[in-house]
Amino acid sequence: MLSRFLLGGLAFAGATFAQSSSSYTDPDNGFVFQGYADPTHNVTYGFALPPASSTDYSGEFIGEIIAPVSAEWVGIALGGAMAGDLLLVAWANDGKVVYSPRYATGYVQPTVYSGPNITTLSETVVNSTHWKWVYRCQNCTTWSGGSISTSGSGAVAWAWSSAAVDDPSDASSDFLEHNDFGFFGQNWQSAQTSNYANYLAGKPGTPTSTTSTPPTSTTTTSTSSSSTPTVTGTPYDYIIVGAGPGGIIAADRLSEAGKKVLLLERGGPSTGETGGTYVAPWAAGTNLTKFDIPGLFESMFTDTDPWYWCKDITVFAGCLLGGGTSVNGALYWYPTDQDFSTANGWPASWTNHGPYTSKMTQRLPSTDHPSTDGDRYLEQLEPVVAQLLQDQGYSQITINDSPNSKDHVFGYSAFDFLNGKRGGPVATYLQTALKRSNVVYKDYTLVSNVVRNGSTITGVQTNDTSLGPNGIVPLTKNGRVILSAGSYGTARILFQSGIGPTDMISLVEGNTAAAKNLPPKADYINLPVGMNISDNPSINLVFTHPSIDAYDNWADVWADPRPADAQQYLKDQSGVFAGASPKVNFWRSYTGSDGQQRYMQGTSRPGAASVNTTYAYNASQIFTITSYLSWGITSRGRLGINAGLTGTPLVNPWLVDPVDKAVLVQALEDIVSNVSQVEGLTMITPDNTTTLQEYVDSYDPGTMDSNHWVGSAKIGSDPSSAVVDENTKVFNTDNLFVVDASIIPKLPTGNPHGMLMSAAEQAAAKILALAGGP
Ligand X SMILES: *[C@@H]1O[C@H](CO)[C@@H](O)[C@H](O)[C@H]1NC(C)=O
Ligand Y SMILES: Cc1cc2nc3c(=O)[nH]c(=O)nc-3n(C[C@H](O)[C@H](O)[C@H](O)COP(=O)(O)OP(=O)(O)OC[C@H]3O[C@@H](n4cnc5c(N)ncnc54)[C@H](O)[C@@H]3O)c2cc1C
Q: Of ligand Y, ligand X, none, which one does residue 708 interact with (CB within 5 to 8 Å by kind)?
A: ligand Y
Q: Of ligand Y, ligand X, none, which one does residue 167 interact with (CB within 5 to 8 Å by kind)?
A: none
Task: Name the helix (H) or strand (E) containing 694.
Answer: helix 692-697
In the complex with ligand Y, the residue whose CB is nearer, 7 or 319, is: 319
Cα–Cα–Cα angle for 230, 234, 235, rounded to 5 degrees = 140
Report CA-CA distances (Å) from 158 to 161, 166, 172. 10, 20, 19
Q: How far is the CB of 243 from ligand Y (least distance, A)?
A: 5
Residue 601, phi then psi, degrees to nearest 5 = -110, 140
| Marked catalytic residue, from 178, 545, 708, 753 | 708
In the complex with ligand X, the residue whose CB is nearer, 162 or 404, is: 162
Q: Of ligand X, ligand Y, none, which one does residue 489 interact with (CB within 5 to 8 Å by kind)?
A: ligand Y
In the complex with ligand X, the residue whose CB is nearer, 144 or 398, is: 144
Q: Which residues bind ligand Y (CB under 6 A)?
A: 1, 241-246, 264-267, 316-319, 323-325, 327-331, 446-447, 484-486, 489, 493, 707-708, 740-741, 751-754, 756
In the complex with ligand X, the residue whose CB is nearer, 670 or 726, is: 670
Q: How far is the CB of 532 from ligand X (least distance, A)?
A: 4
Rounded to whole angstroms, the Cα distance separating 345 from 351 reads 10
Q: Of ligand X, ligand Y, none, which one does residue 342 interact with (CB within 5 to 8 Å by kind)?
A: none
Q: How far is the CB of 748 from ligand Y (least distance, A)?
A: 9
In the complex with ligand Y, the residue whose CB is nearer, 414 or 664, is: 414
Q: Of ligand Y, ligand X, none, which one does residue 130 interact with (CB within 5 to 8 Å by kind)?
A: ligand X
Q: Which residues bind ligand X (CB under 6 A)?
A: 28, 41-42, 66, 68, 115, 117, 119, 125, 127-130, 132, 138-139, 143-144, 266, 272, 286-287, 391-392, 444-446, 453-454, 463-464, 528, 531-532, 546, 612, 615, 618, 620-621, 636, 670, 673-674, 677, 682, 688, 690, 698, 721
Report CA-CA distances (Å) from 747 to 172, 246, 535, 696, 737. 39, 16, 7, 21, 21
Q: Of ligand Y, ligand X, none, which one does residue 149 interact with (CB within 5 to 8 Å by kind)?
A: none
Cα 709 → chain centroid: 11
Q: How far is the CB of 324 from ligand Y (least distance, A)?
A: 2
Report CA-CA distances (Å) from 332 to 320, 417, 575. 20, 9, 20
CB 424 within 8 A of CB 322: yes
545 is an active site residue:
no
In the complex with ligand X, the residue whose CB is nearer, 141 or 336, is: 141
Give which of 237, 297, 289, 296 is closest to 268, Cα–Cα.
Answer: 289
SS3 411: strand
Q: How far is the CB of 357 from ligand X (least distance, A)?
A: 27
Cα–Cα–Cα angle for 382, 388, 393, rounded to 5 degrees = 110
Question: Which residues fall within 8 angstroms of residue 212, CB to CB, at 6 or more apart?
Answer: 24, 25, 27
Q: How far is the CB of 478 from ligand Y (least distance, A)?
A: 23
Q: Of ligand X, ligand Y, none, which one does residue 245 interact with (CB within 5 to 8 Å by kind)?
A: ligand Y
Rounded to whole angstroms, the Cα distance separating 593 from 659 reads 7
CB 281 within 8 A of CB 559: yes
Rounded to whole angstroms, the Cα distance separating 570 from 293 reads 10
Q: How far is the CB of 482 from ligand X (least distance, A)?
A: 19
Work out the number of other CB atoms within 10 angstroms of the CB of residue 644.
17
Rounded to whole angstroms, the Cα distance separating 700 from 685 reads 14
Q: How far is the CB of 204 from ligand X (least distance, A)?
A: 15
For the chain, the distance separating the N- and C-terminal CA atoms, rounded to the nearest angstrom, is 38
- Residues 695-702: contacts with CB under 8 Å, at least 24 apart: 695/539, 695/668, 696/539, 696/655, 696/661, 696/664, 696/665, 696/668, 699/539, 700/8, 700/83, 700/105, 700/106, 701/106, 701/652, 701/654, 702/5, 702/8, 702/83, 702/106, 702/107, 702/108
Q: Of ligand Y, ligand X, none, which one does residue 64 interact with (CB within 5 to 8 Å by kind)?
A: none
Q: Of ligand Y, ligand X, none, which one does residue 453 interact with (CB within 5 to 8 Å by kind)?
A: ligand X
In the complex with ligand Y, the residue whose CB is nearer, 8 or 46, is: 8
Q: How far is the CB of 368 from ligand X (least distance, A)?
A: 26
The b/e string for 211-230 (b: 16+ C-beta within 10 A; e otherwise) is: eeebbebeeeebeeeeeeee
In the complex with ligand Y, the residue whose CB is nearer, 327 or 671, is: 327
Q: What is the DSSP letter of 244?
A: S
3-state secondary structure 174-235: CCCCCCEEEEEEEECHHHECCCHHHHHCCCCCCCCCCCCCCCCCCCCCCCCCCCCCCCCCCC
Task: Name the helix (H) or strand (E) containing 622.
Answer: strand 622-629
Q: Of ligand Y, ligand X, none, which one does residue 464 interact with (CB within 5 to 8 Å by kind)?
A: ligand X
Helix then strand then coil, % of the chain, to nearest 5: 25, 25, 50
Rounded to whole angstroms, the Cα distance separating 12 from 303 reads 9
CB 765 within 8 A of CB 771: no
Q: Of ligand X, ligand Y, none, which one does residue 463 interact with (CB within 5 to 8 Å by kind)?
A: ligand X
Q: How far is the CB of 523 from ligand Y (least distance, A)?
A: 21
Q: How far is the CB of 494 from ligand Y (least distance, A)?
A: 11
- Omega within 30 of 0 (cis) for the link into 501: no
DSSP letters for 124-154 = -EE-SSEEEEEEEEET-SEETTEE--TTSEE
Q: What is the DSSP letter of 629?
A: E
In the complex with ligand X, the residue whose CB is nearer, 286 or 438, is: 286
Catalytic residues: 708
